[in-house]
Structure 1
Amino acid sequence: MTSSVFVISLLLLSLSSAVFSDDSSFQKLPIPGNRSGPESFAFDTTGKAFYTGVSGGKILKYTADKGFEDFAQITETSNSAWCNGIVGTALAWKCGRPAGVAFNPKTGDLYVADAPLGLHVIPPAGGLATKIADSVDGKPFKFLDGLDVDPTTGVVYFTSFSSKFNPMEVLIAVAAKDASGKLFKYDPATKAVTVLMEGLSGAAGCAVSSDGSFVLVSEFIKSNIKRYWITGPKAGSMEDVTSSVSNPDNIRRIGSTGNFWIASVKNEVVVPTDPSAVKIDSNGKVLQTIFVKNEFGNTLLSEANELDGKLYLGTLTGPFAGIMKL
């Protein structure tokens, strides 16, 4: 009897932290120009605009009064007829395919991990991005993905999903259980790029803690999240944090709360299902799960990013971004 009560209690506890989204609280924002994949979001210091990269190499700015507007582009050809209307990773080597984005709040610079073309920076006024690096130690980046900026130092952390496969080969990388992903560090003061972690299985996202003491890195293929210590007695070391989040993609810190949102799916035979936003604390404990299958179907949810009581939801392939009231 005692064991039965214990099991029932655990089930009730797990259900209490799971939330099925209310369609009435969800706002769909179609991406203009027949583009797709608002994969990640960055908020400026006003908190009234967000920025996202889409197919064809464009960075879009969104405000409630004006909607989506062109803000920047990765290459000169991103504005050409070649790249207009491109979806997915088509012509990504020519147009660019922005993945992770994040602002340095002190300088206003927007950093972009472009999947095939490398690390870039965009000035506060927008326009053409400047390439910072497309290789490290003589080894080209094959497939950049997640990016975050340390709010305390301005140092940029970014990941490569794979060092063997390119973005157009992502399904092959997943099926092969590739473990060649890496975590990188770019220091704007020294202009140096260094490798911090190797052997990661689909390093899809990263997020620096609000105090700058560590960075979390997701392993999409392995369904694991690791921590790399930046400061303190464990500086330079890494550890597993949790394997309880299925196929984690981007990770985003929630202000200074010490908690993080993670975009999650279930990867079944290389087909993503059951997209959800999962909130964890700094020790990997799952605090809340929001299921968004009603809004996203089986589209791969790439990011959940919270600001002012709203959750901004991105997708790798879909033609829209989502905003959900919490």
Structure 2
Amino acid sequence: MKTNSFLVLSLIAVWLFFLLGSVFCNDYKTFNKLVLPSSVSGPQSAAFDRAGEGPYVTVADGRILKWKGPATGFVDFAYTSPNRTKKLCDGTNDLDLGPICGRPLALSFNYKTSDIYITDAFFGLLVVGFNGGLATQLSGGYKYLYGVDVESFTGNVYMTDASLTYDIRNLAQPGLNPDSTGRLLKYDPRTQRVTVLLSALAGVGGPTVSSDRKYVLVPEYVTKKIQRYWLQGPTKGTNDVFMTVFGSPNNVKRAASDGEFWVAVENPPQGLRVNGSAIVLQTVPLTQFLSVTVDVAQEMNDALYVGSSHTDFVGVYTK
């Protein structure tokens, strides 16, 4: 009996060792910066095209920039406002110029077509081709459209509307009380219709579709939860709580391995790699972002690219 008990305890100890080791082990030991052009700030996104080029980032002055390597740095790729001028807008972070310059927040590629879908705080949902330039507005009239993810198999676009009450300029106001009017939306490019999938979300962040296309994960910054909205199966059209996060989740992105995700978390800033069972597989402390918000953590080529609305660089953590 004692031998059996000892064997069980030993197996439990080994299981805990590997579980905790995977959770707390940080392989991303090296940190570098991809610095934005002079006076430019706010890279809230970090997306890569199907050839692995990038990152493409959205910045505060209304542009989408593309990283072309250390010798060249970031170059202009696209912009969201037809009224934008480089003289007025380049380098600005004045949100009152947003209706003129634009403020793109998130990017997602349709890897079948190479089109880039963009959410802009002032111009709604837009799309631009692989050659860049002025993006075409697909859907407007939102208070604060925030995150976006394209499901390339169907072409459906999933996006989040942060609030029906506030726009991005209200965030700096003292005493602002976050509301619970956020929504998860679907844009169907075939019908050009927008459908509301979820509402009453508190501090909704950027969504992502699972690699098997069965569900969408939607973080709620205020409640510290990640909602799961089912796209297929017997629970199609319903939602449940995927996981509760220690900290405030901002954006969720698919990881390199199928069925896994990266969650950008505030308080404390960290990147969490989780699987489809909501088990945390890895925690990466984002110590270089302790004094600012962390908006996105995107994995590519064994590196973790971290974007923030309050920095003049994209952080790159490598193994």
Kept in 1, the 8 Å contact 2:255–2:273? The answer is no
> CA distance change for structure 1 residues 116 and 173 in 2, over 3 Å: closer, same or farther?
farther
Gaps of at least 5 residues in structure 2 are 1-11
- Mapped pair 1:42 → 2:47: yes
Letter in 1 for 2:57: T
Kept in 2, the 8 Å contact 1:41–1:314? The answer is yes
Other structure's SS at 2:170 match: helix
Question: How far apart in 2 are the matches of 1:120 and 1:245?
Answer: 33
Other structure's SS at 2:207 match: strand
Please, which of 1, 5, 30 is the counterpart of residue 35 of structure 2?
A: 30
Where does 1:152-163 land on structure 2 (aligned, <5 Å)?
A: 152-163=153-164
Partner of 2:135: 129
Partner of 2:236: 235
Q: How far is the alpha carbon of 1:94 from its aligned partner?
A: 1.8
Partner of 1:315: 308
What are the Cα deviations for residues 271-291 of structure 1, in whole angstroms up to 9, with x where unaligned?
xxx311111112222111111
- Mapped pair 1:281 → 2:287: no
Question: How far apart in 1 are the matches of 2:89 and 2:308?
Answer: 20
Please, which of 86, 104, 113 is the counterpart of residue 107 of structure 1?
A: 113
Higher relative strand content: 1
Identity of aligned residues (%): 36
Kept in 2, the 8 Å contact 1:151–1:211? The answer is no
| Paired positions, count | 308
**Could you list the runs of 4 or more consecutive aligned residues of structure 1 that deviate by over 4 angstroms after TM superposition?**
9-16, 19-23, 171-175
Q: How far is the alpha carbon of 1:98 from its aligned partner?
A: 0.8
Kept in 1, the 8 Å contact 2:81–2:123? The answer is no
Letter in 2 for 1:131: Q
What are the Cα deviations for residues 164-205 of structure 1, in whole angstroms up to 9, with x where unaligned?
111122256995231000011011111111111100001111
Partner of 2:104: 98
Question: How far apart in 1 are the matches of 2:306 and 2:263?
Answer: 10
Partner of 1:298: 291
Question: How far apart in 1 are the matches of 2:295 and 2:65?
Answer: 17
Normalised by the length of structure 1, the TM-score is 0.87
Comparing 281-290 and 119-128, the one that deviates more: 281-290
Q: How far is the alpha carbon of 1:115 from its aligned partner?
A: 1.6
Larger radius of gyration: 2
Kept in 1, the 8 Å contact 2:22–2:281? The answer is no
Q: Say what the alpha-carbon RMSD is for the aligned residues.
A: 2.5
Partner of 1:71: 77
Q: How far is the alpha carbon of 1:33 from its aligned partner?
A: 3.5
Partner of 1:199: 200
Gaps of at least 5 residues in structure 1 are 1-5, 136-140, 267-273
Comparing 76-85 and 49-58, the one that deviates more: 76-85
- Mapped pair 1:60 → 2:61: no
Letter in 2 for 1:164: T
Q: How far is the alpha carbon of 1:21 from its aligned partner?
A: 7.4
Partner of 1:269: none
Other structure's SS at 1:17 match: helix
Kept in 2, the 8 Å contact 1:299–1:317? The answer is yes
Comparing 306-315 and 73-82, the one that deviates more: 73-82
Kept in 2, the 8 Å contact 1:226–1:241? The answer is yes
Q: How far is the alpha carbon of 1:46 from its aligned partner?
A: 0.8
Kept in 1, the 8 Å contact 2:122–2:143? The answer is yes
Question: How far apart in 2 are the matches of 1:27 and 1:44?
Answer: 21
What are the Cα deviations for residues 75-100 of structure 1, in whole angstroms up to 9, with x where unaligned?
13333322111126342222111111
